[in-house]
Structure 1
Amino acid sequence: MLYSPAFKTISGIFIALTINIKGEIMKKIFLIAALTSAVFSVSAKDINFGLEATYAPYEFYDDNNTLVGFDIDIANKICEELNYTCKFTNQSFDGLIPSIKTRRIDAAISGLDMTPERREQVDFTQSYYDNVAQFIGLKGNLESLDSISELNKKHVGVQNGTTLQKYLIDKYPEIDIVSYDSYQFAVLDLKAKRIDAILIDSAAATEWLNKEPSLVKIGKEVSDPDYIGAGLGIAVRKGNSALLDQFNQVLTKIKSDGTYDQIYAKWFK
């Protein structure tokens, strides 16, 4: 087929424009790729810690809506020592380990007891806090509690997904266990006399007693190495030895140089 000179000229201009447009598109594609690479490079220096932020003194929002607590100070110190940026994801407690396994978060620091069952799913750092549990109740009710079995047929509140929940289910099936997403709701029900007692970490129990004068400790401290008292650890994805080693190195350092004692005294003394 024959084309007129005018058509050839127009065609040449069109081809040149097409090449130029494609060239600009390619430049933009390369620019976006470079920026994306830079973003991922920066995010590699971020550590996303998962937690459930209603668990004072470990992690909670203060009156200024700032996330604070013992765990927060420990995590921030780890990030400072490793030259990382700490990010915190507030979520349900029972979703922490699944979030680690699906890589939604890098680690969990939220008063996690290092139980054998949890060790099958995630890896833990060395212990950074030794804990026990405590029952709390209303003044004038169950204050003479001597044995946990005396709570049989009673309504006892506990946080969903915790080792304390599993402890009661396994050891005391006669107790009527009431599970909550947050201890805040358990305390509200306790004050309203919808439940008879709450089983909670001893440090968190002390925090609640300081805020709520109507509450008291009942019975003795609770410890069982299969559930409670094996220590709290920071959880990471199974096999993530690089991150685990970095965390452990910092924990060892701050325990030896006095930093850990300062953080501990701030929240527990």
Structure 2
Amino acid sequence: MQNKKTVVALLLIALSGSTAAAETDVAYNGQHVSLEANKTPVNTARNPQAVASLPQGFHFAVPGSFTVAVAAQNSPPLTVFADDNKTLLGSEVDIARLVAESLGLRLNVVPTSWEDWPLGVASGKYDAAITNITVTKDRKEKFDFATYRKDSLGFYVKNSSPIKSLSKAEDIAGLRIIVGSGTNQEAILLAWDKENQSKGLKPFTPVYSKDDAAQTLALQSGRADAYFGPNVIGAWKAALKGQTRLVGSVDGGWPKAAHIAVTLKKGSGLAEPVSIALNGVIANGDYLKVLNRWGEGVERIERSEINPPGLGD
């Protein structure tokens, strides 16, 4: 382990290929983001209404704490490891803290994998998952949701790519596209591919990888034609490295809009207090303070909703 350099600095150096990237500042989405400054938490006040709506006698995973599963991967601005290589920073952690403090609880962040959160939430191992989870029809059968951000997905290609636009089904025919397994963006691509094949068009090839360095290498080496994922992540990388560009964006609930949400055990009774907590920080400005400092203000919502329509509805 490198003890004399922060993980954040190492990440930025790796992404850019230059030691100059040790400067932990990024400008994108019309905003300036400082990872160093964002190590300082954004705190909020206890929300009596949210606390009063908690189910009587509810047993949290850790008494007195709000235990939240957050995907443990360097995907700024959503998540990024701090200097100790253990503590997670990012907008997801900041949102979790706002909810926890609104409920009068300590925040207990558990770094986990994307594959682990569903069973962890369903079993009560975690009180919630806050890890860029989109509301979908299928997920609502197993979980409750309280929304906190718009879901916008982006297609990114390397700067020298001949691809000019990816925004509809026929555009992806025959392409190799980096996408996360089990994600709503994968579901969109598979739906598009089914439509294409019914018309006799070439199938697309999904390129599955959770490792950022491997994704970057695949795109820059030509082993993949495009990346499709959360637009804020793609925009961050494009601004940081200057090696990729946006060629299309899609609502996460294609063909309708969908939102990212705090994900909770079905019927646990936590959806209402969490939604009240979110609406409280939306009203007092702490919510927008968090999104803006991570360059995500463009995806803000006006009000948190419980179990709204999502992908597949």
Instruction: Give TM-score, length-normalised by structure 1.
Output: 0.77
Contact kept? 2:61, 2:67, Cα under 8 Å:
no
Tell me the amino acid that sits aligned with residue 266 of structure 1: R
Q: Do the aligned partners of residues 205 and 103 (structure 1) sit closer, same or farther apart at CA in structure 2, a change above 3 Å counting?
A: same
Deviations 1:52-77 (A, max 9, x none): 13222112214563411111111112
Following the alignment from structure 1 to structure 2, what is the Cα–Cα distance between the partners of residues 42 and 165? 31
Q: Would the aligned equivalents of 2:78 and 2:90 in 1 still touch at CA under 8 Å?
A: yes
What CA distance in whole angstroms lies between the structure 1 residues aligned with 2:227 and 2:171? 14
Q: Report the residue type matching 1:212 in the other structure.
A: K
Tell me the distance in 1 between the aligned counterparts of 2:273 and 2:241: 39
Larger radius of gyration: 1
Secondary structure of 2:207's counterpart equals: strand
Map 1:154-193 to 2 at 5 A.
154-173=175-194, 174-193=203-222
2:184 touches 2:252 (CA, 8 Å); kept in 1?
no
Find the aligned partners of 2:256 and 2:292 in 1 and give their Cα distance. Answer: 22
Question: Structure 1 counterpart of 2:224, which letter?
Answer: I
Residue 100 of structure 2 contacts residue 106 of structure 2 at CA under 8 Å; is this kept in 1? yes
Q: Name the TM-score, length of structure 2 as normaliser.
A: 0.67
CA distance in 2, matches of 1:111, 1:42: 21
Q: 2 CA distance for matches of 1:59 and 1:122?
A: 23
Question: 2:233 aligned with 1:212, yes or no?
Answer: no
Q: Is the 8 A contact 1:59 1:69 kept in 2?
A: yes
CA distance in 2, matches of 1:176, 1:41: 42
1:234–1:184 distance in 2 versus 1, CA, 3 Å = farther
**In the aligned structure 1, how far is the partner of 2:280 from the partner of 2:90?**
20
| 1:116-195 equivalence runs, <5 A | 116-125=137-146, 127-145=147-165, 147-148=167-168, 149-173=170-194, 174-195=203-224
Greater RCO (CA < 8 Å, at least 6 residues apart): 2
Looking at structure 2, the residues matched to 41 and 104 of structure 1 have their Cα atoms a distance apart, in angstroms, of 9
The letter for the 1-side match of 2:258 is: A
Could you give the per-residue CA deviations for residues 234-259 of structure 1, whole angstroms, max 9, x where no partner exists?
00101011x22221121011011111
Q: 1:235 aligns with which of 263, 267, 281?
A: 263
Partner of 1:52: 71
Q: Which runs of 5+ in 1 are unaligned?
A: 1-39
Query: Cα distance 1:208–1:192, how it changes in 2: closer, same or farther (>3 A)?
Result: same
Q: CA deviation at 1:195?
A: 0.9
C-alpha separation in 1, matches of 2:133 and 2:257:
11
Deviations 1:86-145 (A, max 9, x none): 1122222133212211222221001111111111111001x2111211101111103412
For the 8 Å contact 1:99–1:105, the answer to whether it is kept is yes
Mark the CA change 1:224 to 1:72 in structure 2 (over 3 Å): closer, same or farther.
Answer: closer
**Cα distance, 1:228 vs structure 2:** 7.1
Runs of 4+ in 1 over 4 A off after TM superposition: none
Give the Cα–Cα distance (whole angstroms) in 2 for the partners of residues 137 and 214 of structure 1: 9
Note closer, same or farther for the CA distance 1:120–1:168 as it changes in structure 2 (3 Å cut): same
Asked whether the equivalents of residues 134 and 252 of structure 2 are also in contact (C-alpha less than 8 Å), the reply is: no
Report which of the two has the higher share of helix: 1
Give, in whole Å, the separation in 2 of the partners of 1:228 and 1:166.
14
Amino acid at match of 1:251: L
Match of 2:108 in 1: 87
Task: Specify every segment of 5 or more residues in structure 2 that has no aligned partner in the other structure, as ranges.
Answer: 1-58, 195-202, 298-313
Cα distance per residue 1:161-212 (max 9 Å; x no partner) = 2100111112224211112234453223212321111101111111111222
Q: Which residue of 2 aligns with 1:265?
A: 292
Q: Which residue of 2 aligns with 1:77?
A: 98
Question: 1:232 aligns to what SS in structure 2?
Answer: strand
RMSD of aligned alpha carbons: 2.3
Distance 1:80 1:146 in 2: 41
Distance in 2 (alpha carbons) for counterparts of 1:193 and 1:99: 37
Match for 2:63: what amino acid?
A: A
Residues in 1 aligned to 2:160 and 2:236: alpha-carbon distance in whole angstroms: 20
Distance 2:108 2:252 in 1: 33
Q: Identity of counterpart residues, as a percentage?
A: 19
Give the secondary structure class of the aligned counterpart of 1:245.
helix
**8 Å CA contact 1:113, 1:229 repeated in 2:** no
When the two structures are aligned, how many residues end up with a matched partner? 227
The more displaced of 130-139 and 206-215 is: 206-215
